[in-house]
Structure formats: C-alpha cells, structure tokens
Chains A and B, each alone.
Chain A
Amino acid sequence: MDTILFFIFAIIAVVCGLNLVLQKHPISSALSLIGVMGSLAVLYLMLGAEFLAAAQVIVYAGAIMVLFVFVIMLLNAGSEKPGGKSWFAQIAGIPLLLAFIAVMGFVIETFLPALRSVRFGSFAGGTAREIGRVLFTEYLLPFEVTSVLILIAILGAVVLARKEID
C-alpha cells in the first residue's frame, strides 16, 4: 500500500514537474505546479508531517499559486515565443541535469546506508500540537523573524505595485 501510494504520487509529482518545464503557456505550468504541490502534500503525510501537509495545501496550493494564477490573468500573459538559447545551455544542459540526478541518486543510495524505510503512521511527530511545542520554544527567534519577513513582503508588494494608484 505504501509503495503504491508513493509511486502514484511520486510519478504525479515528476510528470507535473516535467510538464511545468515543458509547457509553453504559463497557465498550464501553474496548474502543473499545483499538481506537484498537491502530490508533495500526500508524500508529507506519509512521512508523518500531517500539519505540514495541510499547510502545504493551504499556503502553497491555496495561496501562493492563486497569486501566480492571478498575475498570469492580470497580465493576460500569452504563450512563450520560441527563441534561441545560448549554445552552451542547448548542448550541455540536459546531460548535466541528468548527470546531477544520477550522481545524487548514486550518492543517496550508496552513502546513507542506515536509512529507514517509510511506513505510513510509524512516525507521528508532525501534529499541530507537536509543531506548536517545538516551534514556540526552540524556534522562538526564527518564528519572530518570520513576522518581520511577512511585513517586508507587504511593504514590498505595495511599494512596487502601487504606482498605478497614485
């Protein structure tokens, strides 16, 4: 069961990721990215991160991607025009990326021998309660820094996008 679920959602994630890269129209890319995020949420759940899985759907798929889709509609962005990339990227790009994946796969398989196997439900540390315990005691400073980061994002978006209003 675990294996089947993993493969279903891993394949969805990879196919959607590929689709994101291959699609010409930004809106198709955005929808593929939502697919990746949704399947990652399921994978998080299987790794015992249930609150994170919910947050992934709420924040990433539900808010950040809405913003992306919104901007794509706002700008009425059309399909990409084809055009030449540098010869280096054309020739070396894909083999380099495949090499990166192969090297990472080899490194991960070979040099982390003591890895656990994943069983859904064997680790239940990711509840909202548990997150709350650790977040509000050990990660107090990063938590507060986060709110500053959010404030800057508000500032930035308003400062940059507001020109039409004045």
Chain B
Amino acid sequence: MHHVPLSWYLILSAILFALGIAGFIYRKNIITVFMSIELMLNAVNLSFVAFAYQLRQVDGQIYAFFVMVVAAAEAAVGLAIILTVFKNRKTLQIDEIDSMKL
C-alpha cells in the first residue's frame, strides 16, 4: 500500500467526532465540555476538506473556513457565558449548576 485512501481520513473524522460526543457526555467541567464541542467541529472540518479533495473543489475548504469563524464566535460568547456563571456560582462542575431543578 503506497498511498493512503481518502476513506481513512473520513474514518479519522468520524473517530474524532465520536470522541467529541464522548467528551460532551462524560466530562463534567464546563470548559472541557465546551472543548469537546470544538473537537466535534474540527472533525466536521476534516471531512469537509477530505470531500473537497475527492471532488477536486476548493469549496469544501471554504466551508471549513466558515465553520472556523462560527467556532470562534461561539467560543467568544460561550466563554463569556461561562465567566458569568462562574462569577455567580463559583463552580465549573456541570452537575452543580442546577438551581433550576425542581
């Protein structure tokens, strides 16, 4: 085997996506949960770029750019929200943030 088939890239993307989901489900520090979401978006970007290679188009790469901007905007807003939550509650444990549970 001399060259890597593109499908391996797509499988890598699926693995990273699944790891992101796992982090989202299992981690309890809000910041880590949020980083897991970033991992999911990165996985999506890899599959966009892989498809762009397959199709010999630059378009898929441009989609990855847009996803990057969305991730940046989401991170800026999300971290600001995390700051306010921390200020009011002094914790980052997701299961301790439950003042709305009945």
Check A-B contact in the complex, CB < 8 A.
Answer: yes
The A-contacting residues of B in range 41-65, CB under 8 angstroms, are 42, 45-46, 49-50, 52-54, 56-59, 61-62, 64-65
The B-contacting residues of A in range 1-32, CB under 8 angstroms, are 2-3, 6, 10, 13-14, 17-18, 20-21, 23, 26, 29-30
Main SS of the interface on chain A? helix
Tell whether B83 is near chain A: CB-to-CB under 8 Å. Answer: yes
Asked if A14 and B76 sit within 8 Å, CB to CB, the answer is: no
Question: Shortest CB–CB separation between residue A123 and chain B, in angstroms?
Answer: 6
The 0/1 profile, CB within 8 Å of A marked 1, for residues 62-102 of chain B is 10111011111111110111111011000011010000000
Q: How far is the CA of A62 from the CA of B31 in the complex (A)?
A: 18
Q: A13-B16, A116-B53 in contact; A83/B61 too (CB < 8 A)? A: no
Asked if A60 and B71 sit within 8 Å, CB to CB, the answer is: yes
Q: How large is the interface on A (under 10, 10 to 19, 20 to 34, 35 or more residues)?
A: 35 or more
Question: Shortest CB–CB separation between residue A110 and chain B, in angstroms?
Answer: 9
Select which of A10, A81, A118, A134 is within 8 A of B58 by beta carbon: A134
Question: Shortest CB–CB separation between residue B70 and chain A, in angstroms?
Answer: 7
Q: How far is the CA of A3 from the CA of B23 in the complex (A)?
A: 29
| Number of residues from B at the complex interface, CB < 8 A | 71
Select which of A30, A138, A154 is within 8 A of B35 by beta carbon: A30
| 19 pairs, CB–CB < 8 Å, chain A vs chain B | A14-B12, A17-B19, A20-B19, A21-B19, A33-B38, A47-B9, A48-B52, A68-B34, A68-B79, A81-B28, A93-B26, A97-B22, A108-B7, A112-B7, A116-B6, A119-B3, A131-B65, A135-B65, A157-B79
Residues of B within 8 A of A (CB): 1-12, 14-16, 18-23, 25-29, 31-32, 34-36, 38-39, 42, 45-46, 49-50, 52-54, 56-59, 61-62, 64-66, 68-77, 79-84, 86-87, 92-93, 95
